[in-house]
């Protein structure tokens, strides 16, 4: 099964999105959450850290592939840098999704639980970009 990594500038947001996605995923789907930068006072600052993202991908690594769902802006850059830190054979089975974070994570978790491929899971998640929340 494809596994997921949730990347946000905010640690609590990443963990919250993971909580939501976990409810949609079967027991077989592993979801990692990574976000924020460790502050000097032991707290968390807003930001993304390529090394921490790479570690989280390795934590949930599976040959079926890992889909990274990111919040915005530099999270994309950090996720792409993180992939550069990984061995090529891992990097080749990782994908940074263009999906919106919340909808994308929920859909990807469900699609992954149905044993769909990395590409199919990402396609379903990215379809959320055309999704109208409110019918008018």
Partner 1 sequence: MEETAAACMQVTIHHPHGLHLRKGKEVVQLAGQFKAEITAQNLTRSSPVVDAKSILQLMQLQARQGHILRLCAQGPDAEAALASLVALFDSSPAEQAEQP
Residues lying near partner 1 in the complex (CB under 8 A) are found at: 23-24, 103, 106-107, 110, 113-114, 124, 127-128, 131-132, 135
Cβ distance to partner 1 smaller for residue 88 or 135 = 135
Query: Distance between CA atoms of 131 and 134, rounded to whole angstroms?
Result: 9
Instruction: Compute the least distance from the CB of residue 27 to partner 1, in Å.
Output: 13
Backbone dihedral angles phi then psi of residue 26, each to the nearest 5 degrees: -75, 175
From the candidates 9, 11, 18, 116, give the one annotated as an active-site residue.
9
Q: Are 8 and 35 in contact (CB under 8 A)?
A: yes
In angstroms, what is the minimal distance from the CB of 98 to partner 1? Answer: 15
CB nearer to partner 1: give 2 or 110.
Answer: 110
Distance between CA atoms of residues 90 and 83, nearest Å:
8
9 is catalytic: yes
Half-sphere exposure of 103 (CA within 13 A, CB side): 14
Nearer to partner 1, 23 or 74 (CB): 23
**Cα within 13 Å of Cα(109), Cβ side:** 22
Minimum distance from residue 134 beta carbon to partner 1 (Å)? 8
Token pair of 36, please? 């924020």
Residues with catalytic function: 9
């Amino acid at each position: 099964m494809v596994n997921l990594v949730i990347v946000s500038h905010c640690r609590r947001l990443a963990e919250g999105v993971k909580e939501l996605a976990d409810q949609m995923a079967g027991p077989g789907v592993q979801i990692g959450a990574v976000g924020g930068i460790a502050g000097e006072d032991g707290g968390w600052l807003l930001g993304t850290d390529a090394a921490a993202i790479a570690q989280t991908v390795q934590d949930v690594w599976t040959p079926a592939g890992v889909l990274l769902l990111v919040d915005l802006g530099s999270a994309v850059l950090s996720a792409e840098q993180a992939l550069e830190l990984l061995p090529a054979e891992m990097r080749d089975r990782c994908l940074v999704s263009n999906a919106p974070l919340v909808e994308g994570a929920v859909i990807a978790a469900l699609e992954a639980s149905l044993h769909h491929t990395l590409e199919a899971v990402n396609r379903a998640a990215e379809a959320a970009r055309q999704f109208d929340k409110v019918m008018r």
